[in-house]
Chain A
Amino acid sequence: MANAMKKADVVIVGFGWTGAIMAKELTEAGLQVVALERGPMRDTYPDGSYPQVIDELTYSIRKKLFQDLSRETVTIRHGLDDVALPNRQLGAFLPGDGVGGAGLHWSGVHFRVDPVELRLRSHYEERYGKGFIPDGMTIQDFGVSYEELEPYFDFAEKVFGTSGQAWTVKGETVGQGSGGNPFAPDRSDHFPLPSQKNTYSAQLFQQAAAAVGYHPYNLPSANTSGPYTNPYGVQMGPCNFCGFCSGYVCYMYSKASPNLNILPALRQAPNFELRPNSHVLRVNLDSSGSRATGVTYVDAQGREVEQPADIVILGAFQFHNVRLMLLSGIGKPYDPKTGDGVVGRNFAYQNMATIKAYFDQDVHTNPFIGAGGNGVAVDDFNADNFDHGPHGFVGGSPFWVNQAGTRPIGGISNPPGTPAWGSAWKRATAENYTHHLSMDAHGAHQSYRDNYLDLDPTYKDAYGQPLLRMTFDWKDNDIRMNQFMVGKVRRIAEAMNPKALAILGKQPGDRFNTQSYQTTHLNGGAIMGSDPKTSAVNRYLQSWDVHNVFVPGASAFPQGLGYNPTGLVAALTYWAARAIREQYLKNPGPLVQA
């Protein structure tokens, strides 16, 4: 029998970026907020203490901060007729766990969105005609515009303390020749901090990209270029390019995290409570199934506890949000055969390619120097910044050198054909490690009718509940786009005049591989939109079916972006929070009439 806690106004599932933003916004509105986080308490101290945190084996290799798969994982299959197998070891993606979520150990590349990608289907149909979008590709519009979101992008950057260079501010060009991105949409204000310095590898990329006629710009990074105080009064110190960034807690108080940038302000609020070690099993619904009454979770001692609340926020990360909806009966599960239903629909990922360049002994790239969000990029082939007509695929890709810091256990890379061990390997390793660099095409990934999420029929989590099943494979459009992008990045790579290149791209027939890290940029499954038949949540991230459940996260993206997702995730969360504060609280009910 579950123990019942005192009712709260709001219960938030998960305390990563979305959970922390919602907690701050809704406590500001005077609501009593309880955040339930399945993992342990984590913070800069003690989890990011120097020198203990400078330990590649513990963090990058044994993956201390990521999700414990012995408790919960996903199963994966390529096609509708296959049997899915569990993802037993962390590989392609690294979900977060504990207070701060993946926001504690992310890298910090902090983008907005290309406005075209918010209305991707409409844009392609207008420019290239309806027939251009392949059969089975289910891309659609977000139902919200860049102009509507701009104030929230701006505020999120100020909370995160983001470093970058604007191209235009209120229509006036300010970024020419100083690292701005000519393809970036207009902004209402500058970045809160100027761009960071660039690593030598990024400088090489910048020169080579300019030499082949592209338009290099400084990556916007949520790693500080100088001291900063955010709107919540939280202080950050300057990033020193320590190189232990992605997968680590920042010991310098320089990488934005929910723990550093929001939690200190929340701790001052008497109407906020954070309960770590609280794994939510399900959202409870009333007998009509159209209103949530709270959630049930398992506490550190293994007891089931009920937390009643008037509003439930699912901030558990993209695929956990989808799973919790399926486990709780919120929204109609998607059926890929009929195309009916919405929960689980439009699951999409990232379409990555990587090129490594190896140089002679006089070029010192020092790959151990870097910061997670730092680098130089080009957008010439991102979004719809080039004519897709002759190429016949949907989607774009930024390219970059994003030297986040690579260390020798995981970061040794030798030219193709080098033996994997023995004296030849050792010599090559000594000659290449500090003389190589890595660049990526961080391609957008589209959604398809048969790439989707549902509950696995066989495998269970540590609490006896079915695991989430991913049905996912690369499609012809993805492979062709990947090959096109590799061809373009290769021009930049060759302009650097390396002695050798390694090209890691996709070939026809390649299947989705769960072992090699792509990104943790998983999208969709509880997508936003204007039509309840094709979206699970409305433009305010409110469930169409259960009006007091809101679902922030990349689960709301109808397809993947060229950029990293968190800037858009954060802006959408602030946008949804504003709708709750200004509209929903006055008149609880659907914010959009179906």
Chain B
Amino acid sequence: MSADDILDSRRSFLRKSLTLIPVVTVAGSGIGLGAAVVADPAPAQAKARDEAAPAGSGTAYQPVFFTAEEWAFVNAAVARLIPADATGPGALEAGVPEYIDRQLTTPYATGATWYMQGPFVADAAPEFGYQLRLVPRDIYRLGIAAADDWCGRQYGKRFAELDAATQDQALGLLEAGKATFDAVPAKVFFSYLLTNTKEGFFCDPIHGGNKGLVGWKLVNFPGARADFMDWVERGERYPIPPVSIRGERA
């Protein structure tokens, strides 16, 4: 087989995973809660964005990958996974939804460096690691739709519309695999959501998350300082505040 054939089979794989998307998008907005969403998506989208914009932030980020309903879900979920509380700002304030949306337009989103040739054995033992056919884009698209659908059946509302305590309960059930989805295992969806949320909270702001270096300030990580000649032997708190790759300081 020549390298060109390989590129072709890779492309056809990508095509297959992309064709999945529109179908699911339609399904995702037809979750049967609030007909307004289906009949008139534009206001719902605007509303979701208004809700999502962190208080006091200037221009709200416009998602590229997520639909309005998905954006509302992600904003609501990350705010519970890493909440703003007495210890300081949370995932929402750190810009984690923007981070995740942006990641879903990188090669990571399509599993570009994963081995994605079949046959797939989806029910393999966990020791074998990831064995699904789905790439991160699919996991979010299918997972959010399934989670909102499940919340609709469980609580009569979409996730973003639940109160915080119920949202926490719902996330706990996803984490424990007690919610069952058809399209994607609930636990897999939850673990991508949580992992990506933590990434967005602690990454360099160049990737769209950790705005104001709030994640690094929480744990006293100095970011891109990367020179500890004078501190290596000292068992004392590191005193210099963090700096980012672009030179932002906190």
Could you list which residues of chain A lie within 8 angstroms of chain B, going by C-beta atoms?
Answer: 50-52, 54-57, 61-63, 68-70, 73, 76, 78, 83, 85-89, 91, 197-200, 203-204, 238, 240-244, 251, 298, 301-302, 304, 363-366, 368-370, 407-409, 412, 420-423, 425-427, 429-430, 433-434, 458-460, 462-464, 511-515
Given contacts A88-B116, A515-B126, contact A409 B202 (CB under 8 A): yes
A-B contact pairs, 11 of them (CB 8 A): A55-B245, A56-B203, A69-B115, A88-B129, A89-B129, A198-B233, A241-B227, A369-B228, A409-B198, A463-B1, A512-B127
Given contacts A242-B228, A421-B171, A427-B87, contact A200 B203 (CB under 8 A): no
Does B224 make an interface contact (CB < 8 A)? yes
Cα distance A244–B224 when bound, in Å? 9
Known: A203-B235, A423-B83. 7 other contacts (CB 8 A): A70-B112, A89-B129, A200-B234, A204-B235, A368-B221, A368-B222, A412-B219
Residues of A contacting B203 in the complex (Cβ-Cβ under 8 angstroms): 56-57, 61, 409
Does B218 make an interface contact (CB < 8 A)? yes
User: Could you say which of B113, B224, B226 has the most chain A C-beta atoms within 10 Å of its C-beta?
Assistant: B226
Does B23 make an interface contact (CB < 8 A)? no
Residues of B contacting A422 in the complex (Cβ-Cβ under 8 angstroms): 80-83, 168
* B129 and A514 contact, CB distance less than 8 A: yes
- Taken residue by residue from 224 to 245, chain B's Cβ proximity to chain A (1 for < 8 Å, 0 otherwise) reads as 1011110111111110000001
Does B38 make an interface contact (CB < 8 A)? no
* A87 and B129 contact, CB distance less than 8 A: yes
Cα distance A319–B169 when bound, in Å? 46
Cα distance A55–B216 when bound, in Å? 13
* A85 and B226 contact, CB distance less than 8 A: no
Residues of B contacting A363 in the complex (Cβ-Cβ under 8 angstroms): 235
Give the interface segment out of B3-11, B26-34, B43-51, B151-159: B3-11
Chain A, Cβ-Cβ closest to B133: A88
* B216 and A408 contact, CB distance less than 8 A: yes
* A421 and B114 contact, CB distance less than 8 A: no
User: Could you say which of A368, A511, A514 has the most chain B C-beta atoms within 10 Å of its C-beta?
Assistant: A368
Does B163 make an interface contact (CB < 8 A)? no
How far apart are B10's CB and chain A's nearest CB, in angstroms?
7
Cα distance A513–B127 when bound, in Å? 4
How far apart are A423's CB and chain B's nearest CB, in angstroms?
5
Residues of A contacting B197 in the complex (Cβ-Cβ under 8 angstroms): 421
How far apart are A149's CB and chain B's nearest CB, in angstroms?
33
Given contacts A87-B129, A88-B129, A426-B87, contact A68 B4 (CB under 8 A): no
B contacts with A, residue count (CB < 8 A): 66
Residues of B contacting A198 in the complex (Cβ-Cβ under 8 angstroms): 232-233
Cα distance A459–B117 when bound, in Å? 8
* A54 and B226 contact, CB distance less than 8 A: yes
Cα distance A238–B114 when bound, in Å? 37
How far apart are A54's CB and chain B's nearest CB, in angstroms?
4
* A86 and B117 contact, CB distance less than 8 A: yes
B232's contact among A85, A241, A420, A459, by CB below 8 Å, is which?
A: A241
Chain A, Cβ-Cβ closest to B219: A433
* B226 and A199 contact, CB distance less than 8 A: no
Cα distance A431–B78 when bound, in Å? 21
Nearest first, the 8 A-B pairs at minimum CB distance are A302-B3, A464-B1, A242-B226, A200-B235, A408-B202, A433-B219, A54-B224, A73-B115
B131's contact among A88, A366, A462, by CB below 8 Å, is which?
A: A88
Chain B, Cβ-Cβ closest to A301: B3
Residues of A contacting B216 in the complex (Cβ-Cβ under 8 angstroms): 408
Cα distance A462–B1 when bound, in Å? 8
Q: Is the contact region of chain B dominated by helix, strand, or loop, or is it mixed?
A: loop
Chain A, Cβ-Cβ closest to B78: A421
Does B199 make an interface contact (CB < 8 A)? yes
Residues of A contacting B161 in the complex (Cβ-Cβ under 8 angstroms): none
Chain A, Cβ-Cβ closest to B132: A88
Residues of A contacting B235 in the complex (Cβ-Cβ under 8 angstroms): 200, 203-204, 363-365
How far apart are B56's CB and chain A's nearest CB, in angstroms?
21
Residues of A contacting B236 in the complex (Cβ-Cβ under 8 angstroms): 364
Does B69 make an interface contact (CB < 8 A)? no
Residues of A contacting B229 in the complex (Cβ-Cβ under 8 angstroms): 238, 240-241
Given contacts A430-B87, A433-B220, A463-B6, contact A85 B121 (CB under 8 A): yes
How far apart are B135's CB and chain A's nearest CB, in angstroms?
11
Cα distance A412–B199 when bound, in Å? 11
* B221 and A407 contact, CB distance less than 8 A: yes
Does B194 make an interface contact (CB < 8 A)? yes
Residues of A contacting B245 in the complex (Cβ-Cβ under 8 angstroms): 51-52, 54-55
Residues of B contacting A409 in the complex (Cβ-Cβ under 8 angstroms): 198-199, 202-203
How far apart are B46's CB and chain A's nearest CB, in angstroms?
29
* A434 and B114 contact, CB distance less than 8 A: no
Residues of A contacting B143 in the complex (Cβ-Cβ under 8 angstroms): none
* A69 and B113 contact, CB distance less than 8 A: yes
* A85 and B131 contact, CB distance less than 8 A: yes
* B237 and A364 contact, CB distance less than 8 A: yes
Chain B residues 102-158 with CB under 8 Å of chain A are 108, 111-117, 119, 121, 124-131
Cα distance A68–B107 when bound, in Å? 12
Cα distance A200–B126 when bound, in Å? 37
Given contacts A57-B203, A86-B117, contact A515 B219 (CB under 8 A): no
Given contacts A52-B245, A203-B235, contact A70 B128 (CB under 8 A): no
Chain B, Cβ-Cβ closest to A67: B113
Given contacts A408-B215, A408-B219, A434-B237, contact A460 B127 (CB under 8 A): no
User: Could you say which of B116, B127, B232, B234 has the most chain A C-beta atoms within 10 Å of its C-beta?
Assistant: B232
Chain A, Cβ-Cβ closest to B110: A70
Residues of A contacting B219 in the complex (Cβ-Cβ under 8 angstroms): 408, 412, 429-430, 433-434
* B113 and A63 contact, CB distance less than 8 A: yes
User: Could you say which of A56, A302, A364, A369 has the most chain B C-beta atoms within 10 Å of its C-beta?
Assistant: A369
Residues of B contacting A459 in the complex (Cβ-Cβ under 8 angstroms): 115, 117
Chain B residues 46-96 with CB under 8 Å of chain A are 80-83, 85, 87, 90
* B119 and A458 contact, CB distance less than 8 A: yes
* A412 and B116 contact, CB distance less than 8 A: no
* B204 and A57 contact, CB distance less than 8 A: yes
Does B18 make an interface contact (CB < 8 A)? no
Residues of B contacting A240 in the complex (Cβ-Cβ under 8 angstroms): 226-229
* A89 and B233 contact, CB distance less than 8 A: no
Cα distance A512–B130 when bound, in Å? 15
Cα distance A57–B216 when bound, in Å? 14
Residues of A contacting B202 in the complex (Cβ-Cβ under 8 angstroms): 56, 407-409, 412
* A426 and B218 contact, CB distance less than 8 A: yes
Cα distance A370–B237 when bound, in Å? 15
How far apart are B235's CB and chain A's nearest CB, in angstroms?
4
A199's contact among B85, B90, B175, B233, by CB below 8 Å, is which?
A: B233
Cα distance A298–B6 when bound, in Å? 13
Residues of B contacting A200 in the complex (Cβ-Cβ under 8 angstroms): 232-235
Residues of B contacting A244 in the complex (Cβ-Cβ under 8 angstroms): 226
Cα distance A57–B102 when bound, in Å? 13
Residues of A contacting B218 in the complex (Cβ-Cβ under 8 angstroms): 426, 429-430
Given contacts A56-B202, A241-B232, contact A426 B128 (CB under 8 A): no
How far apart are B16's CB and chain A's nearest CB, in angstroms?
15
